Structure formats: structure tokens, C-alpha cells
Amino acid sequence: MAKPWLIGIISLVLIGVSAQVYLILKESSGLKKDLDYLNGRVSALVKENADLKSDIEYFSNPENLAKEYKSRFNYKEEGEKMIIVVP
């Protein structure tokens, strides 16, 4: 017949191992959520980077730059006339 102290020791070891497994699974779940969040951020930053590269390419053309400057800041070159349309 098994000795009671041996059963007690085995029970304590099983409880300890079970607690550690629970903590590892809980931490793994938290890390998965963090990974999903970071993957989403990476995707957003990759898209933002592509948009910025597109803007740089667009504004590197002097004609486009002048067009945007005129439309945003009501700029006019020497000899041009400006018309402001009020709705």
C-alpha cells in the first residue's frame, strides 16, 4: 500500500506543475494579443510609409508642388490674377 506522505508529496508536485502550466498559458495568451496588436501597427505603418513615398514622388515634380502651394495657401505668381469663388 502507498505511503500517505508519498501521496502528499506527489499531490503537491502535481499542484505546482499545474499552476506553472496555467501561468505559462496565461502569459502565452497575453503575448499573442501583443503580437496581433504589433502586426496591425506594422501593417498601418507600412501603408503610411507607402503613402508618404507617393507624396514625396508627387511633390518632387515642381509643377505639382506649385499647384498645391497655390491651392492651399492662395499663392499667386507675379503677373497672375487670383479669383476667389465664394459659395
Number of domains in the chain: 1
What's the pLDDT band for 52 if we cut at 50, 70, 90? very high
User: Is 82 within the bounds of a domain?
Assistant: no
> Structure pTM?
0.58
DSSP helix/strand/coil, 77 = coil
For residue 5, is it within any domain?
no
Indicate whether 3 belongs to any domain: no
Residue 50 within any structural domain of the chain: yes
- When pLDDT is cut at 50, 70 and 90, the band that residue 76 belongs to is confident
d(C-alpha 48, C-alpha 55), whole Å: 10
The span from the CA of 39 to the CA of 32, in Å, is 10
Average pLDDT for residues 68-80, to the nearest whole number?
Answer: 82
Residue 80 lies in a domain: no
Look at residue 8 and tell me if it is in a domain: no
Listed in sequence order, the residues at least 6 apart from 73 whose beta carbon sits closer than 8 Å to its beta carbon are: none
Q: Is residue 62 part of a domain?
A: yes
Find the domain containing 36 and state its range.
30-70
Q: What are the backbone angles phi and psi of residue 7, rounded to the nearest 5°? A: -65, -40
